[in-house]
Amino acid sequence: MTRITEQPSLYRHLEKMSVEELTANINNEDKKVAIAIEKALPQLNKLITAIVEQLQHGGRMFYLGAGSGGRLSVLDAIELPTTYGIEKGIVNVILAGGLEHLIEAPEEKEDDTEAGWNELLKHNISPKDIVVGISASGTTPFVLSALQKCKANNITAGCIVSNPGSPIAGAAAIPVEVITGPEFVTGSTRMKCGTAQKMIFDMISTTTMIRLGRVEDNSMVNVLLINDKITDRAVKILMEKAAIKNYEEAKETLLKYGSVKKAMEAIEK
């Protein structure tokens, strides 16, 4: 395979560049990310469709990753119960080194060929579920070995990688290859690869939640009322949808039923 992610940066002598030059050049590289994702949309669409189907039939989704990509998937998953009101445990993350070590970056754990599958087994992984492996290089042992076990056990697996023809893509039923090119700092895949991963996680989770009916029109009608800011936003959504002009009346109704969606269902009865 060609390790594009490890190829030399297109820029030399970074230490001699001014702040203005550095930021302009990094920005020029970042512009390439959306174009790379656009080329991968057909495969990404297949992956999202498979995720939606598994979740509609009572399955769960598992992000499986290490390093920057794995940590970014944690950020995506932890916000979904609040934003869309889904039950915890529907979207999960298996992170090399464990979620309890999220901020410690134990990168040596990505070489563990048993831990990923063992963690999936602890969650009672089954063919009803779907696993999405995350690896910029496409070779991370933690991810590769787990996806191979998924394949052997008839568990649907996809992946997000940034090199073409990688072993992880070969182990995944639905590979998504987002080729962002050499990094600004040679081999620093927390940069363009990480940006691409974050954008793709947004696409996966948002599209999935919309397809599962967790959004109406363009509104978060199932958002959990966990603080004043979110409650205020929900009150205004309810006022618009139910044509309620009085803020306090709308807030009282919202708090009584717990979400915009439930309040609307009660109003429309």
Say which residues have a Cβ less than 8 Å from residue 181's Cβ, sequence separation at least 6. Answer: 4, 7, 10, 29, 32, 36, 192
CB 72 within 8 A of CB 215: no
Q: Convert the pLDDT of each residue in 103-112 to its tens digit.
A: 776 677 889 9
**What's the predicted TM-score (pTM) here?**
0.94
Is 79 noted as a catalytic residue in this protein?
A: yes
Task: Choose the catalytic residue: 110, 119, 177, 183.
Answer: 110
pLDDT band at 99 (very low <50, low <70, confident <90, very high): confident
**What would the two tokens of residue 190 be?**
């927390």
pLDDT of residue 100: 80
The SS3 assignment for 224 reads: coil
Angstrom CA distances, 256 to 36, 71, 232, 251, stand at 46, 37, 15, 8
Residues 180, 120: Cα–Cα separation, whole Å:
30
**What would the two tokens of residue 1 be?**
């395979």
pLDDT of residue 106: 66
CB 241 within 8 A of CB 203: no
Q: Convert the pLDDT of each residue in 133-190 to its tens digit.
A: 999 999 999 999 999 999 999 999 999 999 999 999 999 999 999 999 999 999 999 9
Task: Choose the catalytic residue: 21, 38, 79, 252.
Answer: 79
